[in-house]
Copies of this chain bind each other. A is one copy, B any other.
Amino acid sequence: MRFRVVAGGSGPGDARAGVLETAHGEVRTPVFMPVGTQGTVKGVTPRELREVGAEMILANTYHLYLRPGTEVIGSAGGLHAFMGWDGPILTDSGGYQVFSLAALRRVTDEGVLFRSHLDGSEHFLTPEEAMEVQLVLGSDVMMVLDECPPSDAGRGAVEEAVARTTAWAERCRARAGESGPGRGVFGIVQGGVYPDLRRESARALVSIGFDGYAIGGLGLGEGRGAMLEAVEATVAWLPPDRPRYFMGLGTPAEMIAVMARGVDMFDCVLPTRLGRHGTVMTRHGYVVVRNARYAKDFGPLEEGCDCYACRNFSRAYVRHLVAAREILGLRLCTHHNLTFLHRVTKEAREAISAGGFADWSAKFLAGFEHGPENSRSA
| Residue among B40, B296, B313 making CB contact with A328, cutoff 8 Å | B40
Could you say which residues of chain B place their CB within 8 Å of the CB of A327? 42-43, 327, 330-331
Distance in Å: Cβ of A277 to nearest Cβ of chain B: 13
A75 to B316, CA, bound (A): 10
Distance in Å: Cβ of A312 to nearest Cβ of chain B: 4
Could you say which residues of chain B place their CB within 8 Å of the CB of A68? 295, 316, 319-320, 323
Return the chain B residue nearest A41 by Cβ.
Answer: B328
A321 to B84, CA, bound (A): 13
A83 to B327, CA, bound (A): 14
A47 to B47, CA, bound (A): 13
A295 to B46, CA, bound (A): 21
Could you say which residues of chain B place their CB within 8 Å of the CB of A323? 67-68
Q: Which of A308-332 contact B (CB under 8 A)?
A: 308, 312-314, 316-317, 319-321, 323-324, 326-328, 330-331
| Residue among B39, B45, B316, B320 making CB contact with A320, cutoff 8 Å | B39
Number of interface residues of A (CB under 8 A): 36
Could you say which residues of chain B place their CB within 8 Å of the CB of A312? 46, 84
Judged by a CB distance under 8 angstroms, whether A38 is at the interface is yes
| Residue among B44, B296, B328 making CB contact with A44, cutoff 8 Å | B328
Complex contact A317–B39 (CB within 8 A):
yes
Could you say which residues of chain B place their CB within 8 Å of the CB of A42? 326-328
Complex contact B76–A324 (CB within 8 A):
no
Known contacts A84-B317, A312-B84; A40/B296 CB under 8 A: no
Complex contact B331–A296 (CB within 8 A):
no
Complex contact A298–B328 (CB within 8 A):
no
Judged by a CB distance under 8 angstroms, whether A82 is at the interface is yes
A48 to B51, CA, bound (A): 14
Complex contact B314–A76 (CB within 8 A):
yes
A238 to B312, CA, bound (A): 40
Q: Which of A44, A45, A298, A321 has the most CB of B within 10 A?
A: A45
Could you say which residues of chain B place their CB within 8 Å of the CB of A43? 326-328, 331
A75 to B317, CA, bound (A): 11
Could you say which residues of chain B place their CB within 8 Å of the CB of A46? 312
A194 to B316, CA, bound (A): 46
Return the chain B residue nearest A332 by Cβ.
Answer: B45
Judged by a CB distance under 8 angstroms, whether A365 is at the interface is no
Q: Tell me how many chains of this kind the complex includes.
A: 2
Q: Which of A27-60 contact B (CB under 8 A)?
A: 38-40, 42-47
Judged by a CB distance under 8 angstroms, whether A20 is at the interface is no
Known contacts A82-B316, A84-B313, A316-B82; A67/B324 CB under 8 A: yes
Judged by a CB distance under 8 angstroms, whether A72 is at the interface is yes
Complex contact A317–B82 (CB within 8 A):
yes
Q: Which of A39, A313, A314, A324 has the most CB of B within 10 A?
A: A324
Complex contact B320–A72 (CB within 8 A):
yes
A308 to B84, CA, bound (A): 11
Return the chain B residue nearest A64 by Cβ.
Answer: B320
A residues adjacent to B (C-beta < 8 A): 38-40, 42-47, 67-68, 72, 75-76, 82-84, 295-296, 298, 308, 312-314, 316-317, 319-321, 323-324, 326-328, 330-331
- Ranked nearest first, the 6 interchain pairs of A and B with the lowest CB-CB distance are A43-B327, A68-B320, A84-B312, A40-B328, A38-B324, A40-B326
- Extra 17 A-B pairs, beta carbons < 8 Å, given A68-B319, A82-B317, A83-B313: A38-B326, A39-B317, A42-B326, A43-B326, A43-B328, A67-B324, A68-B295, A68-B316, A68-B320, A72-B316, A75-B298, A76-B314, A76-B317, A82-B314, A82-B320, A327-B330, A327-B331
